[in-house]
Amino acid sequence: MSSIDQYVHAATRANTRKAYQAAVQHFEHEWGGFLPATADSVARYLVDHARTHSLNTLRQRLAGLAAWHLDQGFPDPTKAPHVKKVLKGIAELHPVVENRARPIQLVQLTAIVSHLDQQIARQDVHRLPLQLLRNKALMLIGFWRAFRSDELARLNAKHIQAVPGSGMEIYLPRTKGDRSGQGRYFKAPALKQLCPVEAYLEWINAAEITQGPVFRGVNRWGQLADDALHPSSIIAIVRSCCQKAGIEGSDAFSSHSLRRGFANWANDQRWDTKSLMEYVGWRDVHSAMRYIDAPDPFARLRMNHESSDAEAPANHSNPSETDLPRRTRI
């Protein structure tokens, strides 16, 4: 691989490369298409899968095919007007109701942490409750920072500065909305209750983590893994925490429940749209609206009204100077 190819390869995330490879394989091997493809063959491919694949899946398949053609120096057939019209028609004739994760409410988070604390207190003094401490830190950081599962999985101890009673600063070299590739700094508050800073320090001190992934696997014997948790494993952890805390319908929760839960809490606290978007990292108000299940019937109308002042988060010259909104105290 040449130096240029190495940099080009690094510009695309591993998960994206896998998804693109799967899209090409599905088109060529499973459906029987030929590469390079024509606009007509791509349109027929969409039609054949219009009833069995979601619109997002079809769009991802098109992105994979587009990437393959561009990488090989061929014209991109997915940009043809005919293909775009077929995709638009599929969206009209096969609308899909978005399956959204159930948000974790603050009262439910309180119940989860209370149950974990009870279990931690009951542990044998000769055996550290590593799994319980990890889960507590994961739930609290995930909620108060509204992190995605892949962001939680990529947290690294060397990129986190935590001060008891003050707060913590987290640096992620890569985030979903980071188009510039400069990474982003996040701040989390020290709270009197449900404190993410305290939970984080308890976890890394007990696990003796000084570098590397923050959230790792813990086996039944309490042995700590070297590698980070897989993002999909975090879904199981969230559901398990909910179920053990006695919360009904735990299967409806996922790792996104923490992000949606914080968004709903912030909306209930009457955060203005711009502050919420900056804190969570949304680029447009429509993304924010997808996360809000507000009992206030005028909440979405209010967010739309404020959208003209919240088109995108401000670009701070120093991201670490972005302060938390004041209403993170509970």
Amino acid, res. 163: V
**Angular region, 277: left φ>0, alpha ψ -120 to 50, beta rest:** alpha
pLDDT for the residue 304: 53
pLDDT attached to residue 276 = 82
What is the pLDDT at residue 69?
Answer: 95
Sorted by where each begins, the domain ranges of the chain are 3-93, 106-328
The answer to whether 206 and 133 are in contact (CB under 8 A) is yes
Half-sphere exposure of 84 (CA within 13 A, CB side): 4
End-to-end CA distance of the chain: 53
Half-sphere exposure of 249 (CA within 13 A, CB side): 8
Residue 169: the pLDDT is: 95
Query: Beta partners for 167?
Result: 163, 189
Q: Answer for the pair 209, 157: CB distance below 8 angstroms, yes or no.
A: yes
pLDDT at 315: 38
- CATH T-level topology, domain 106-328: hpI Integrase; Chain A (1.10.443)
What is the per-residue pLDDT for 279?
Answer: 85
* Local confidence pLDDT in tens for the 330 residues of the chain: 566 666 555 666 677 888 899 999 999 999 999 999 999 999 999 999 999 998 889 999 999 999 999 999 999 999 999 999 999 999 998 877 666 778 999 999 999 999 999 999 987 755 678 999 999 999 999 999 999 899 999 999 999 999 999 999 999 887 766 666 678 889 998 999 999 999 999 999 999 999 999 999 998 888 889 999 998 899 999 999 999 999 998 888 988 899 999 988 988 888 887 888 888 877 766 666 666 665 555 555 455 555 544 443 333 333 333 344 443 444
Angle at alpha carbon of residue 308, lines to 303 and 310, rounded to 5°? 70
Q: 3-93 is classed in which CATH architecture?
A: Orthogonal Bundle (1.10)
The predicted structure's pLDDT at residue 85 = 95
Per residue in 45-70, pLDDT (tens digit) is: 999 999 999 888 999 999 999 999 99
- Residue 145's nearest CA partner among 312, 252, 265 is 265
Query: What is residue 274's predicted lDDT score, i.e. its pLDDT?
Result: 80
